[in-house]
Amino acid sequence: MKAKLAAIAVSALTAATLSTSALAGTAVGAGLTWTFGGPKPVAGPALGVKVFSTDKQDKAAGYLGLDYSFADRGIRPNVGVAYLGKHNIYVGADVGYSFAQQGLNFGAGVGYVDTDKN
């Protein structure tokens, strides 16, 4: 049951990510997040992809993401806010659901985002 729920969530988030990135004005990025908190607190790195609500530099943006957490060896869908800076870098904070911990946890991350200067 747990594996089936994880597969459904990953499929839904992947579909949302692909359909959202087709919209004008969105940006796609990838980065490293440090996760912490949760029902069974395990802190550690996670690697993931994000779809941002805007592609403009020097702006705040909301995002949907999907991470793989190395700390608890599980998939972590997340939603957060980020600052899209110059040189295609983002800095963000999010709340995610850890399937391994079966609960919410928090993350702070940085990474690359394909922004538009205009």
Q: What is the pTM of this model?
A: 0.78
- Residue 4: the pLDDT is 59
Q: Which two tokens stand for residue 113?
A: 């985002």
Instruction: Residue 29: name the closest of 97, 94, 106, 90 by CA.
Output: 90
**What domains can you pick out in the chain, each with its CATH number?**
2-113 (2.40.160)
- Residue 5: the pLDDT is 59
pLDDT in tens, 18-49: 555 555 789 999 999 999 988 887 899 999 99
CA angle 108, 46, 9 (to 5 degrees): 100
User: What are the φ and ψ backbone dihedral angles of 101, each rounded to 5 degrees?
Assistant: -90, -15
- Please answer whether residues 29 and 110 qualify as being in contact, where contact means their C-beta atoms are separated by less than 8 angstroms: no
Maximal C-alpha separation, the chain = 47
Ranges of residues in the chain with a pLDDT under 50 are: none
